[in-house]
């Protein structure tokens, strides 16, 4: 050990003990709570660059220390699910996108993708498109502004037909049909195709639409 170290080491040790003692004395004297209350934390936090601070945090290393399974095991999933309004969640699901972009669509396509059903769907859709085109023409020609009345909802294939109301019950008017059925078509969603092309008058003369 050099002569210089023999002098400085004891001095440093003494300085350390003095500093600790001074700090103890100061802390005993100072009311830290009162001191903290005088600090403007908002102003202090405003000076802190949180992003820079977070950038220095190794999140991966942090997460590696977390036992996620243990955390999940402590969660009461039943209580959690009880608080979730599943119906509200389901209403937010875009079924069209779901069917189009997931394997659910493939399942539907394979289970119901017969040529006959495809042709039937196309024929019905095309007929409805022409119906609406002709109807728009007629409404325009007759200068009607108000929308057409809503039809009563007919039972779908396989559904039981609605029972006739009792004789003393007020008659159900078309306006009482389900609101969903009254939703007007959304032309913006329907790509133009031949089926929406305006038909020639000879295609569907009024006197021949007979059923």
Partner 1 sequence: MSPRPATESVTAQGNYAGSVSRFLAYAIDLFASTAVYTLALAAISYVVQIVTGEQVSWNRQNILVVVLYLAWEFFYFGYSWAVSGRTFGMAMLGVRVVRADGAAAEPRRGVVRALVFPLSFLLFGLGFLGILVQRERRALHDLIAGTAVVYSWDARAARLRFLAREGELTRIPPDG
CA distance 190 to 202: 25
Per CB under 8 A, contacts with partner 1 among 20-49 are: none
Query: Hey, what are 122's tokens?
Result: 């196309």
CA distance 128 to 94: 24
Per CB under 8 A, contacts with partner 1 among 139-168 are: 142, 148-157, 161-165
Nearer to partner 1, 56 or 110 (CB): 110
201 binds partner 1 (CB under 8 A): no
CA distance 202 to 211: 18
3-class secondary structure, 153: coil
Per CB under 8 A, contacts with partner 1 among 115-134 are: 117-118, 120-132, 134
Per CB under 8 A, contacts with partner 1 among 168-187 are: 171-174, 176-178, 180-187
Binding residues with partner 1: total (CB under 8 A): 81
Per CB under 8 A, contacts with partner 1 among 59-98 are: 95-96
Among 9-17, 29-37, 53-61, 201-209, the segment contacting partner 1 (CB under 8 A): 201-209
- Picking from 136, 149, 141, 140, the residue whose alpha carbon sits closest to that of residue 182 is 149
- Give the residue, chosen from 7, 19, 23, 109, that forms a contact with partner 1 under the rule CB under 8 A: 109
Q: What CA dihedral angle connects 95, 97, 98 and 100, to 10 degrees?
A: 120
């Amino acid at each position: 050990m050099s002569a210089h170290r023999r002098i400085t080491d004891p001095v440093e040790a003494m300085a350390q003990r003095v500093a600790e003692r001074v700090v103890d004395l100061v802390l005993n004297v100072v009311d830290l709570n009162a001191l903290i209350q005088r600090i403007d934390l908002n102003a202090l936090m405003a000076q802190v660059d949180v992003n820079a601070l977070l950038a220095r945090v190794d999140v991966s290393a942090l997460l590696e220390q977390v036992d996620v399974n243990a955390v999940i095991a402590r969660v009461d999933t039943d209580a959690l699910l009880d608080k979730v309004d599943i119906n509200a969640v389901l209403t937010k699901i875009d079924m069209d996108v779901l069917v189009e972009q997931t394997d659910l669509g493939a399942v539907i396509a394979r289970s119901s993708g017969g040529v006959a059903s495809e042709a039937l769907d196309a024929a019905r859709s095309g007929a409805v498109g022409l119906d609406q085109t002709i109807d728009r023409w007629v409404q325009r020609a007759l200068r009607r502004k108000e929308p057409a009345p809503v039809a009563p909802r007919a039972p779908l294939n396989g559904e039981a037909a609605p029972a006739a109301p009792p004789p003393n019950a007020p008659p159900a008017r078309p306006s009482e049909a389900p609101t969903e059925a009254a939703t007007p078509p959304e032309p913006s969603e329907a790509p133009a195709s031949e089926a929406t092309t305006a038909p020639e008058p000879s295609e569907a003369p009024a006197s021949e639409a007979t059923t």
